[in-house]
Amino acid sequence: TKWVYTFGDGEAEGRQDMRNLLGGKGANLAEMASLGLPVPPGFTITTDVCTYYYENGESYPADLNEQVEAAFAKMASIAGKRFGDPKDPLLVSVRSGARTSMPGMMDTVLNLGLNDRTVEAIAEATGDRRFAYDSYRRFIQMYSDVVLGVEHHEFEEILELYKDEKGYETDPEITAEDWQVLIEKFKERIQEQLGEPFPQEPEKQLWGAITAVFGSWRNQRAKTYRRLNNIPESWGTAVNVQAMVFGNRGDSSATGVAFTRNPSTGEKALYGEFLVNAQGEDVVAGIRTPQNISEAARIEAKSDKPSLEALMPDLYGEFIGICDKLEAHYRDMQDLEFTIEEGKLWMLQTRNGKRTARAALKIAVELANEGVISREEAVKRIDPLALDQLLHPTIDPKATRDVVAKGLPASPGAAQGEIVFDADEAEEARHEGRRVILVRIETSPEDIHGMHAAEGILTSRGGMTSHAAVVARGMGKPCVAGAGSLRIDYKAGTLSAGGKTLNKGDMITVDGATGEVLVGEVPMLKPELFDEFATLMEWADGFRRMKIRTNAETPLDARAAREFGAEGIGLSRTEHMFFEGDRIVAVREMILADDETGRRKALEKLLPMQRQDFEELFEIMAGLPVTIRLLDPPLHEFLPHGEDDIAAVAKGIGADPKKLHEKVIELTELNPMLGHRGCRLAITYPEIYEMQARAIFEAAAEAGRKTGNPVTAEIMVPLIVSKAELDILKADIVAIGEAVEKEKGVTLKYQVGTMIELPRAVLRAEEIAETAEFFSYGTNDLTQTAFGISRDDAGRFLPTYVAKGILPFDPFVSIDPEGVGELMKIATERGRKARPDIKLGICGEHGGDPSSIAFCEEVGLDYVSCSPYRVPIARLAAAQAAL
């Protein structure tokens, strides 16, 4: 087996499309080398080795060593140096790289190969003793941390003590000789901690680092990240070994990161940061404030530090050329790492850049307009779920802004919540239903769970490419980073700036669009749709086959859904209307009535209210189809529970509390989900559906007259298991329809159909379709009844099923294609046998889930229906499913 792939000097064994084997970083390093870009030589150990390693008790394939040696020799010969050479030693980095980038999750070791001898050689070769010893101590610290498990603070302690002794204020005052002394102290500390010395042999260092990278695939941070991002454990990571280049060799050296387009807004302008005389992660770590790469960005940021464009115009030109080349080659916005060593530019990484949903849309639409990609491709590139980010609130421009501090607008959207300083606390607060803003000096991978739990993130240190910023953008969370004027005191639990001090628990608002931090709960606005969003949606609409409807019962939701592009209502749950205002009184009166006459009297009171509801919905939907589901839940849901409530309600409706109590007991069911609900209510009390049908028809007649748009009403009967049930109920409904037509002198356009939400209905779908004019898959109940799992109780065990791999995902979130999905297919096939043109839709929660939508396309449904805010997601997902 080939375990190792080399790259460098204008050629490579690997390719861009080998990311599964080489990891993203390795595949792209190979590709860049093949493109002739300046990439330091190196090689990639494949993800297969990682898999092998874990499957074989953490050991390596027998022939790996030999392949690594050969690749190493090739790298060394291209670099013109030798590992451990006492004159001109080769130093390398050992870099992790999974298939998809896992920012900050895995560990990289730089300057590997340094030891007591090679450090002297470096000092001599470069004529810079300070550089050499500074590199050596960095390596010792990094290697100890990542490979040996000796924590950073051990060295910080020694360093601080030493600086105090010498009376130094800052690191640059430390001389080469000082570092030499410090390195000896560092090594002593390591010996103390581990009982063995810091490894001096480069070979040993190399294998230590390689093993640490493979080992880090299963560290806690990586596991958390994978869990949150649905990355399978089985993928594994690759390891890249690469010759070092040095950005920290004085003022003609530098290191930086850049995006070929703005990752926040999507604007077509190079966007990046760099530091002169610095190495590797210094830019991201937020220790020094980085400088802008382009002059335009510097001016916009009002920075007084010179740009790369101004400092090194030739190199800037070369860099821009490479950016353009890479963007054209990958046909997407790139995220790049580069280093300049004494005036020579080196590329260290490229990948498709992470971006906000807003930027993703803008970039996709612009790339399509530039002719780089097709419109189909643009539509395919947007993650439907990411659109959620665009539906984030912003701060009301009319609100008074009590600004305490300003940082960088690191991730868009506004968020508000209580101040918390600790990731665990953020998570706890979230569990208690409190909204929080996680406030940190800077964040690290250990804070991920807290960032997830928080509404937004605020840091006092770090740039646009700091950990907080990158991770927040990925999560779609508002983030303000690097608010330098903030003083954060973790111990005291305070945050102060501009003469104000806020405490843990105080409300703040962060504005990821402006970088402002505001005191209190500032009024916010609903998100606004922008041009590229509309354009992409329009393109998507052109590709999709299924219609998108919404689940709505209030005028507010119905209007919002229309604005988001809903093409009708797929589910209007009439029971929700029964709770509005004092309707519940009439509902209870109906339930408490002793006989049909009493019930009819109470229903008489509900009729005008229901008619009003439906009329509004019909008017808003202006001729688009509106599906109204007749009463579904068991009646006891409308009754009070508990002694006090019963007494209060009895008083309110003038009923005898004892009678009310008896009624509550009488209606109590052992298993209400499978009890007297849905159409079963109307089989026993036909007058309930009769009232609702009348309300629908009268409203349809009225709305049709008012708007001039004939109403398309779809009356949906829930919980059907047999044709016989539906025959009875449909006959009642049709009779009412005829009566209303006669009374009003109109012709009504309507259909009577059913939910398919019980397995028996699936099996009898053919005969049910003889009566039903449409089917709507109620996948919530269908999932409950197919699995025999109550959704409300599933939380206790379903996560374990997913964790143990028994189920690939929660079937209440995405349709289980093998079981529930199979049922949908059966019902579709049988239903169509009886009625070839039967209209088919879905109205369960799954209607807003992209993978379920893809499944619905496969089954050939006519529409999906989802909550209003999911409508754009569904439009895009339906288009992708059709492409």
> With binding defined as CB under 6 A, does residue 348 bind ligand ADP?
yes
Residue number, 32 or 679, with CB nearest to ligand ADP: 32
Binding part of the chain for ligand ADP, among 241-249, 288-296, 397-405, 778-786 by CB under 6 A, reads: 241-249
| The 3-state secondary structure of 136-202, one letter per residue | HHHHHHHHHHHHHCCCHHHHHHHHHHHHHHHCCCCHHHCCHHHHHHHHHHHHHHHHHHHCCCCCCCH
CA separation, residue 89 to residues 71, 75, 82, 116, 198 (Å): 17, 13, 5, 12, 19
Q: Does 339 bind ligand ADP (CB under 6 A)?
A: yes
Q: Is 778 assigned to a binding site? A: yes
Question: Which of residues 349, 465, 771, 783 is near ligand ADP by CB under 6 A?
Answer: 349
Give me the least distance between CB of 244 and Mg ion, in Å please. Answer: 14
Smallest gap, in angstroms, from Cβ of residue 239 to Mg ion?
A: 13
| Minimal distance, residue 13 CB to Mg ion, in Å | 21
* From the list Mg ion, ligand ADP, none, partner contacted by residue 694 (C-beta under 5 to 8 A by kind): none
Residue 619, token pair as written in the block:
């008017």
The residues pairing with 42 across neighbouring beta strands, listed in sequence order, are 7, 242
Any bridge partners for residue 386, and if so which? none
Strand partners, 43: 6, 241
553 within 8 A of 535, measured Cβ to Cβ: no
In this chain, which stretch among 69-77, 239-247, 320-328, 631-639 interacts with ligand ADP, using CB under 6 A? Answer: 239-247
Active site residue 866: no
Residues β-bridged to residue 696:
none
Stretch that binds ligand ADP, among 52-60, 237-245, 368-376, 548-556 (CB under 6 A): 237-245
Residue 37 φ/ψ, nearest 5 degrees: -80, 155
The yes or no reply on residue 93 touching ligand ADP (CB under 6 A) is yes
**Max intra-chain CA distance, the chain:** 105
Secondary structure of 426-467 as H, E, C letters: HHHHHHCCCCEEEEECCCCHHHHHHHHHCCEEEECCCCCCCH
Helix (H) or strand (E) holding 751: strand 750-756
252 to each of 247, 280, 339, how far by Cα in Å? 8, 16, 11
Q: Is the Cβ of residue 349 or residue 551 nearer to ligand ADP in the bound state?
A: 349
Q: Is 779 annotated as a binding residue?
A: yes
Q: Binding of Mg ion at residue 416 (CB under 5 A)?
A: no
Contact 528/392 with Cβ under 8 angstroms? no
| 46 binds, options ligand ADP, Mg ion, none, Cβ within 5 to 8 A by partner type | none
| Bridge partner residues of 243 (DSSP) | 92
How far apart are alpha carbons 53 and 347 in whole angstroms? 30
Catalytic-role residue among 467, 679, 846, 866? 467
Q: Total number of residues binding Mg ion (CB under 5 A)?
A: 2
Given 119, 245, 419, 548, the residue binding ligand ADP (CB under 6 A): 245
Q: Given the rule CB under 6 A, which of 240-248, 615-623, 771-779, 790-798 is the region that contacts ligand ADP?
A: 240-248
Nearest approach, Cβ of residue 337 and ligand ADP (Å): 4
Residues 329-358 that bind Mg ion (CB under 5 A): 349
> Candidates 100-108, 477-485, 605-613, 639-647 — which segment interacts with Mg ion by CB under 5 A?
100-108
- The alpha helices in 804-862, defined as continuous H runs, are 820-834, 850-859
Contacting range for ligand ADP; rule: CB under 6 A; set: 142-150, 163-171, 242-250, 716-724 = 242-250
108 binds Mg ion (CB under 5 A): yes
Identify the residue among 8, 40, 290, 640 touching ligand ADP (CB under 6 A). Answer: 40
Under rule CB under 5 A, residue 101 binds Mg ion: no
DSSP string, 315-356: HHHHHHHHHHHHHHHHTS-EEEEEEEETTEEEEEEEEEPP--
CB 517 within 8 A of CB 582: no
Q: Which of 50, 323, 843, 856 is catalytic?
A: 843
* Beta carbon nearer to ligand ADP, 279 or 514: 279
What is the Cα–Cα distance from 34 to 13, expressed in whole angstroms? 9
User: In angstroms, what CA-CA distances link 562 with 501, 552, 872?
Assistant: 45, 11, 11
Residue 348, binding choice from Mg ion, ligand ADP, none, Cβ under 5 to 8 Å by partner class: ligand ADP
Q: Which secondary structure element, helix H or strand E, spans residue 292, and what is its range?
A: strand 291-292
**Contact region for Mg ion (CB under 5 A) — 101-109, 417-425, 485-493, 736-744?**
101-109
Q: Under the criterion CB under 6 A, does residue 293 sit at the interface with ligand ADP?
A: no
792 annotated as ligand-binding: no
Per the annotation, the verdict on 636 as an active-site residue is no
What's the min distance (Å) between Cβ of 282 and ligand ADP? 8
Please check if 780 is assigned to a binding site: yes
692 binds, among ligand ADP, Mg ion, none (CB under 5 to 8 A by kind): none
Cβ contact 266:364 at 8 Å? no
| 474 vs 817 by CB, closer to ligand ADP | 474
Based on the shown chain and the rule CB under 5 A, indicate whether residue 141 belongs to the binding site for Mg ion. Answer: no
CB 275 to ligand ADP: min, Å: 11
Tell me the C-alpha to C-alpha distance, in Å, between residue 445 and each of 106, 423, 448, 467, 880.
Answer: 10, 11, 5, 8, 33
Which part of the chain contacts Mg ion (CB under 5 A), choosing from 3-11, 103-111, 669-677, 865-873? 103-111
Measured from the CB of residue 208, what is the shortest distance to ligand ADP in angstroms?
17
Task: Pick what 93 binds: ligand ADP, Mg ion, none; C-beta below 5 to 8 Å, kind-dependent.
Answer: ligand ADP
For 413, the token pair is: 């959207």
State which amino acid sits at residue 879. Answer: A
Residue 9, binding choice from ligand ADP, Mg ion, none, Cβ under 5 to 8 Å by partner class: none
Whole-Å CA distances, 314 to 157, 268, 292, 341, 656: 42, 22, 16, 14, 91
Element (H, E) at 775: strand 774-777
115 binds ligand ADP (CB under 6 A): no
Query: Quick one: 256 or 266, whose CB is closer to ligand ADP?
Result: 256
Q: How far is the CB of 450 from Mg ion (least distance, A)?
A: 20
The residues, ordered by sequence, that sit 6+ positions from 275 with a Cβ below 8 Å of its Cβ are 247, 254, 255, 256, 282, 283, 288, 290, 291
Beta-sheet strands, E only, within 47-91:
82-83, 89-90
Q: Is 93 in the site for Mg ion (CB under 5 A)?
A: no
Site string for Mg ion, 294-333 (x = CB under 5 A): ----------------------------------------
Between 262 and 349, name the residue whose CB sits nearer to Mg ion. 349
108 near ligand ADP, rule: CB under 6 A: yes
Residue 297, both tokens: 């960005």
From 337, 425, 427, 767, residue interacting with ligand ADP (rule: CB under 6 A): 337
What are the C-alpha distances in Å from 173 to residues 119, 228, 281?
A: 20, 43, 21
Catalytic residues: 467, 843
Q: Which positions make up the binding site for Mg(2+)?
A: 757, 781
Q: Which positions make up the binding site?
A: 573, 629, 757, 778-781
Contacting positions for Mg ion (CB under 5 A): 108, 349
Contacting positions for ligand ADP (CB under 6 A): 40, 93, 95, 104, 108, 110, 242-245, 280-281, 337, 339, 348-349
Q: Which positions make up the binding site for substrate?
A: 573, 629, 757, 778-781
